[in-house]
């Protein structure tokens, strides 16, 4: 059985709680496919005020997460799993962009994955130098902290584990698997606000339906995210369809 193990380090464990305890992630945890532990960095401070951050050397606004408590937290994690190996990831806008390919790789990761979440302005660089294997960004914008990004990484990787999605849901696994956008979907009623479901979807002809869906996926990608076509898994037939679509859309 493939299983994912995450250790999240954060000053705000409560942010992770809701999402890990709902819906598919909750079910994956209950099935033992996804194992998550969320630790509060503040628990690893050693002064009486439990100081986790401090003002930056060199001056300026904002606070910097102190190295000490994070080092202690890493030591505690390593002591809790003797002989295990770890992959530590810092969520930060300075990281490499997280994408479906990285999600697929992480879903097969054997090591325990430490997700380090910064908050406030920054994190002491010595943490990154000494403890962080990889920096990941979920997009080119700045969050108040890495917690939401950590949830995105957990969610995207966990849903790719065999057994996490049920049969009903698992078709959705393919939607980005080939690097294309999804085709349109419809459910009852067949007419809504004067708009009809495409006839082919009511035809019962599954070869036609598959061809229609592929063409619509190619069309959506061409119109909305043409950049994805450079790296998508395309057959010769796909390329012909795309040529036809380009003509039509001119």
- Could you list the residues that contact ligand 4GY (CB under 6 A)? 91-93, 118, 121-123, 137-139, 141-143, 145-146, 149
Residue 9 bridge partners (DSSP): 39, 116
User: Closest approach of Cβ 228 to ligand 4GY, in Å?
Assistant: 20
Name the residue among 7, 37, 26, 24 with its Cα closest to residue 160: 24
Query: Does the annotation mark 93 as catalytic?
Result: yes
User: Has 191 been annotated as catalytic?
Assistant: no
CB closer to ligand 4GY, 19 vs 145? 145
Element (H, E) at 104: helix 100-107
Residue with tokens 């809701």: 18
In eight-state DSSP terms, residue 15 is: H
Q: What angle do CA 12, 17, 20 make, to 5 degrees?
A: 135
Q: Which is nearer to ligand 4GY, 36 or 137 (CB)?
A: 137
CA torsion angle 38 39 40 44 (round to 10): -170
| Catalytic member of 39, 93, 182, 211 | 93
Q: How far is the CB of 16 from ligand 4GY (least distance, A)?
A: 14
Please give the Cα distance from 45 to 171 (Å, whole number): 46
Other beta carbons within 10 angstroms of residue 205's beta carbon come to 12
Closest approach of Cβ 114 to ligand 4GY, in Å? 15
Which residue of the chain is nearest ligand 4GY when measured via CB? 118
Report the nearest approach of ligand 4GY to the CB of residue 242 (Å).
32
CB of 93 to ligand 4GY, least distance (A): 4
Rounded to 5 degrees, what are φ and ψ at 117? Answer: -105, 120
Instruction: Report the C-alpha gap between 69 and 44 in whole angstroms.
Output: 5
- Of the pair 139, 226, the CB lying nearest ligand 4GY is at 139
Q: Using an 8 Å Cβ cutoff, are 121 and 147 in contact?
A: no
Q: Which member of 99, 109, 121, 135 is catalytic?
A: 121
| 174 in active site | yes
Of 69, 112, 159, 216, which one is the catalytic site residue? 159
125/169 with CB nearer ligand 4GY: 125
Task: Tell me whether residue 121 or residue 178 sits nearer to ligand 4GY (CB atom).
Answer: 121
Catalytic residue chosen out of the listed positions 22, 43, 47, 174: 174
Residue 135, classed as helix, strand or coil, is strand
Cα separation, 250 vs 234, whole angstroms: 22
Looking at the annotation, which residues are catalytic?
A: 93, 121, 159, 174
């Amino acid at each position: 059985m493939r299983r994912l193990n995450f250790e999240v380090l954060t000053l705000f464990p409560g942010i992770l709680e809701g999402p890990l305890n709902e819906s598919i992630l909750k079910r994956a945890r209950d099935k033992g496919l996804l194992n998550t532990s969320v630790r509060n960095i503040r628990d690893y401070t050693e002064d009486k005020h439990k100081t986790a951050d401090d003002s930056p050397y060199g001056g300026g606004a904002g606070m910097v997460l102190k190295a000490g408590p994070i080092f202690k937290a890493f030591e505690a994690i390593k002591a809790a799993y003797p002989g295990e190996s770890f992959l530590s990831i810092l969520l930060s806008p300075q990281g490499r962009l997280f994408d479906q390919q990285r999600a697929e790789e992480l879903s097969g990761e054997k090591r325990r994955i430490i997700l380090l979440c910064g908050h406030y302005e920054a994190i002491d660089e010595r943490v990154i130098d000494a403890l962080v294997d990889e920096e990941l960004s979920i997009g080119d914008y700045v969050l108040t902290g890495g917690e939401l990004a950590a949830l995105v990484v957990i969610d995207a990787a966990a849903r790719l584990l065999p057994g996490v999605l049920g049969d009903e849901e698992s078709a959705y696994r393919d939607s980005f698997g080939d690097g294309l956008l999804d085709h349109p979907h419809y459910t009852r009623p067949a007419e809504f606000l004067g708009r009809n479901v495409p006839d082919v979807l009511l035809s019962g002809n599954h070869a036609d339906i598959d061809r229609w869906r592929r063409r619509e996926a190619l069309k959506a990608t061409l119109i909305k995210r043409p950049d994805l076509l450079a790296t998508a898994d395309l057959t010769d037939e796909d390329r012909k369809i795309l040529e036809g679509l380009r003509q039509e859309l001119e």
